[in-house]
Chains A and B, each alone.
Chain A
Amino acid sequence: MTIDLKGYGDDASTATLARAPGVRVRDLTVVYRTPLGELPALGGVSLTIEPGTITGIVGESGSGKSTLALSLLNAVQPPGRIASGSVEIDGLGDVVGLAGEELRRARGRHLGYVFQAAQNSLNPLKTVGKQVLDLGRSHGVADPRALLREARALLERMGLDGGRVLDSHQHQLSGGMRQRVGIMLALVLNAHLVILDEPTTALDMITQSTILRIVREVHQERGLTTLMVTHDIGVAAEVTDHLAVMYGGRVVEHGPTMRVLGAPSHPYTQGLIRAIPRLSGDPSEARALPGRPPTLGTLPVGGCVFRERCPERMAVCETVDPPRVTHGERTVACHAVEQAHDRAETAGYGPHRLDTANHRTGREELT
């Protein structure tokens, strides 16, 4: 991957090390109040995001990916609430403990959030420039002119006519332009952790490809830690270096994108990849995953959340939630994978399904 560092010079890479924050999510449980009682949308998620990485969080409907993204901002809305766990962000501390003014300042300054392209997250009555100034005022920016200059530079970096866009209203911009404005608003206060929520949904293929290229370039140039939440594994594959696969409110697999896609471990990841309509490969080898993703109400209680659709279902899957097992760079939560790994190890071979590059084995219990 060669990245074009137009006009930003080489210091961008050193800045990466200095400023991009790491994120550590620990045993995060988010519940939603329903007539059937409180149901978990996230069931004890643990996820470590290294500084400077661009991580994709992929999952289908009901996987909890959007809830996880909102939790990073401590913005879960009632009837949902964070029941337990923590979200540690470098330079901010535990976000779950933040509230009121502190939280508002953190959003924008440290955390930039880019809303879905489909949603109209811009104020239709104000020009983009006015909204930049509003943002600056609410965060106590001393020099509004410098802020506008920065906004313009960002827009121009993304291939837009900065001056014209700042003077435009939402309806005068195309979908792809709006999405770039969204990215600009997330970055203009110099946030170094950026969360993109379905950044290309409802955009055309060619526009999507442009936006994804911009996301990747801006990530590199500004030294960010980027999280991209998407249902489209292709979109995540195109830009990310790490991939976290979610299912039923859990992260079932996490690791470098190339490895997760090239040699998926978890049966869900394997099934999902086999189910993607692709341009390469033999279409007759593709298979849909049987069954359907769970909803809050149909999520099995106890045991593995994926077992009902799993080809490798075993007795233990009915009762025991598989623990998260980390081997080197990869983390998987699956009984079958773990057993295969153990067998391989006792037989004296390297474990065949997980990475062997790093023979460090760490285990963490998943509540």
Chain B
Amino acid sequence: MITGTGVTKTYRQRGGMLAGRDVPALRGIDFAVPRGGAVSFIGESGCGKTTLGRIVAGLETYDSGEIVIDGTPMSPLSPKRRQPFFRRIQLIHQDPYSALNPTRTIQQTLTAPLELRARHTKRPGSWVDDRAEELLSLVGIDPGYVLGRYPHQLSGGMRQRVVIARALTVDPEMLVADESVSMIDVSMRLSILALLRDLRERLDIGLLFITHDIATARYIGDDSELYVLYRGQVVERGPTETVISAPVHPYTQSLLSATPVLHGLERPGEERVVPTEALDERQGDSGCLFARRCPFRTDRCDGERPSLVHGLDVSHEHACYHPRPRGVIPVEAVA
């Protein structure tokens, strides 16, 4: 079980439009990923989802709040003591092209962490090769085909599978998949999503799924939870299907409304929500963070910031003063 409570992170902007200003990337995020469970974080670029993933994978530090891995809080530990805990959480990068060393064969890539593991667990050297082949079969590729090859000889989908196999070498408890399918050809995206779902079921591995494409979050298992991040704050969370089919926060509704409609196969939702203006990160931080773009804002929204509360359904939370479900997602057209 991996939990986060009130995780915050602020960057000081060095250059660009916001030079010299503090930019909050995360403003107190609470989340929990049970063993074998799945949680998706969705939002636009700059909403803090990637930062969160890197923090959870131990690649970045947090300013305040706490990450607890199997009951052990991380912040009191020294970086060295923290490492074995964070090793249980492996990050799957977005870009399978830069995630593999171009100068090393797949075999070299897999055996390095396996040899380390063999030494730690006092296993014989022969275990390493067997395990490498086993892991490749597990992620659905033919070991005989890929082991001797270099990354450039593999397709994007295969590379992403190798990256997942490499993460599995340390028997992780959770995978952080940051936009892991966005660079993969459409016809093969589902197979990677299915693999992630499969690993959850077969190996009881948890999944923190980070994406800008909400639709993909539906394919990692029907027990998953969805968190909608906006400017470093969770604005809506709940069971994935509930949030997608009955979103109540206007930001979630805008995101869902912006998803292209497959005309012919689908009809657009009746109540699509369009933000009144484009995202401007220089906007002030008072009141609701989405207020300036929100078509439904009232004076109250400008004054104080809403916090996460639940409605009738206790599992479905939102941070909005005027929550109302709207039919924004496309509806399947009847042929």
Contact = CB atoms under 8 A, between A and B. Distances in A.
A80 interface: no
Interface string B207-234: 0000011111011001000000000000
A277 B260 contact: no
Nearest to A174: B278
Interface string A237-271: 11000000000000000000111111100000001
| Chain B CB within 10 Å, residue with most, of A234, A257, A263, A280 | A280
Interface stretch (A15-23, A38-46, A206-214, A342-350): A206-214
Interface stretch (B26-34, B100-108, B111-119, B183-191): B183-191
Contacts of B257: 209
Interface in B179-201: 185-191, 193-194
Interface stretch (B3-11, B167-175, B261-269): B261-269
Given A205-B44, A281-B332, A60 B265 contact: no
B59 interface: no
B329 interface: yes
Contact of B262 (A171, A261, A283, A292): A261
B195 to A, nearest CB: 10
| Chain A CB within 10 Å, residue with most, of B186, B330, B332 | B186
Contacts of B176: none
Nearest to B261: A238
Given A210-B278, A237-B260, A278-B215, A60 B185 contact: yes
Contacts of B1: none
Interface in B288-335: 329-333, 335
Nearest to B195: A288
B254 interface: yes
B279 interface: yes
B287 interface: no
Classify the secondary structure of A's interface with B.
Answer: helix
Contacts of A258: 263-264
Contacts of A209: 257-258, 260, 274
Nearest to A258: B264
A338 to B, nearest CB: 22
A271 B274 CA distance: 32
B190 A288 contact: yes
| Chain B CB within 10 Å, residue with most, of A206, A207, A284 | A206
A109 to B, nearest CB: 32
Contact of B189 (A172, A235, A277, A284): A277
B275 A206 contact: yes
A277 B190 contact: yes
A205 B278 contact: no
| Chain B CB within 10 Å, residue with most, of A61, A172, A259 | A61
Contacts of A235: 260
B187 A237 contact: no
| Chain A CB within 10 Å, residue with most, of B44, B190, B260 | B260
Interface string B276-287: 001100000000
B235 to A, nearest CB: 14
Given A263-B335, A280-B329, A289 B187 contact: yes
A204 B255 CA distance: 9
B246 to A, nearest CB: 13
B216 to A, nearest CB: 5
B137 interface: no
A262 B335 CA distance: 7
A257 B191 CA distance: 26
Contacts of B261: 234, 237-238
A289 B188 contact: yes
A273 B335 CA distance: 15
Contacts of A287: 190
A170 to B, nearest CB: 13
Contact of B255 (A206, A276, A277): A206
A292 B44 contact: no
Given A237-B262, A272-B187, A279-B256, 10 more contacts: A204-B45, A206-B278, A207-B278, A234-B259, A237-B265, A261-B264, A261-B265, A262-B265, A279-B218, A288-B188
11 contacts: A61-B156, A204-B44, A231-B186, A261-B263, A275-B188, A277-B219, A278-B262, A278-B330, A280-B266, A286-B219, A292-B158
